[in-house]
Structure 1
């Protein structure tokens, strides 16, 4: 199985989260890394996940995984 890398240009870190957009509702959803790469989603490393910023007026929904 090949590891998935961050979608940000020039970033070679391993992806840990998947970002999707709903442009109509001005919403971004950030969740755990999806089971497979999807053309309309963006995989992000932990650094870019933490630095995520959206335009003013947009809502960011962050789905966290449960930790033991």
Structure 2
């Protein structure tokens, strides 16, 4: 069985483990943040917990945060 490689935060200079995935919809001026995607995507950005929390977007944009339900 192949061991899954740790994915790192996409922010320059950050070497922390990624915990979420960020995608942008430029047409709707929206950023979506959710749980770490199953696979690395060249059109998405993986973020560590600190950069997920500090996320800021341009004025007028909306941030949608998808969180995993804990039962």
Shorter-chain TM range is over 0.9
CA RMSD of aligned residues (A): 0.5
Q: Where does structure 1 differ by over 4 angstroms across 4 or more consecutive aligned residues?
A: none
Unpaired stretches in structure 2, ≥5 consecutive residues: none
Match of residue 63 from structure 1: 66
SS in 2 for 1:21: strand
TM-score after normalising by structure 1:
0.97
Q: So what's the TM-score if we normalise by structure 2?
A: 0.93
Larger radius of gyration: 2
Aligned residues: 68
CA distance in 1, matches of 2:38, 2:14: 21
| Residue among 26, 32, 35 paired with 1:32 | 35
Structure 1: unaligned runs, 5 residues or longer = none
- Residue 14 of structure 1 aligns with which residue? 17
